[in-house]
Amino acid sequence: MIAPHRLAPPENSCLVVVGGCGGIGRALVRLALANSLRVAVIDLPDVIRTFPPPAEVLSFAADATCEEAVRQAFVQIGDAWGVVDGLVNLAGFLTTFETVEHMDYTDWRYVYEGSLLTTLFPCKHALPLLRKSKRTAAIVNMTTGIAYIGRPRYGPYAAAKAAIVSLTKTLAAENAPKIRVNAVAPGAVDTPFLSGGTAHGGIQGEKARRINVEEYLKSVPMGYLATPDDVAEPILFLLSDAARYITGQVLHINGGALMV
């Protein structure tokens, strides 16, 4: 009988987490270390100072909307490791909560680029290191169910996350079979994002500003708000060899609130 693959990457695999100091990012880093992975985090300087990763994690302070900053971070990761086995892109935010009709273009561009380029640039500059992996490397991007259904006042965020779905499928087609590329699409998760975002004044446990949690939970068959681990654990699975035949897909993690 052939032993099954474990539901996480092999020990000592090299994992880069963009946005690794946010709510889901911290959970993913913790689980990755518990599974004996080598971890590097790319996040904003202020966020790294507020939520410093464990000592064994490589930390790179960079604004991921700046391509040169991202490129430099991966140069340093290449110098340290020589290879990347997995990349997870978690960055994204919504600061302006307004209808398309009334939203200023500057605000639209800020949210759109902050939620799209922060995935595009890490994917682009990680690819050469991912190709050096001795196994099938993997990328997991972050999108949202809102990209599929639309929701008032989420315009630039939803548009950026819809673009990430397309980007994920394009990268999967371009880089198979050496690199698998998938995405996760969580519903509401109990993180600072609900009250502004880790880098934009959101506080864990603060009342959600964008949704009425009690009303939202009426649409969730599982009956509770997702925890960061509810998202981090499926991400680890998608990075693992147990998911070796999965690429170009979006895994919806929403307790049944959206069934597609």
Helix, coil or strand: residue 7: coil
**Contact present, 176 and 214 (Cβ < 8 Å):** no
Here the tokens at position 168 are 């994920």
Active-site residue among 110, 157, 224, 245? 157
157: annotated active-site residue:
yes
Residues of the chain by 3-state class (helix, strand, coil), percent to 5: 40, 15, 45
DSSP 69-87: HHHHHHHHHHHHHS--SEE
Q: How far is CA 107 from CA 77, 95, 114, 115, 192, in A?
A: 33, 8, 11, 12, 20
Residues annotated as catalytic (active site), given as ranges: 157
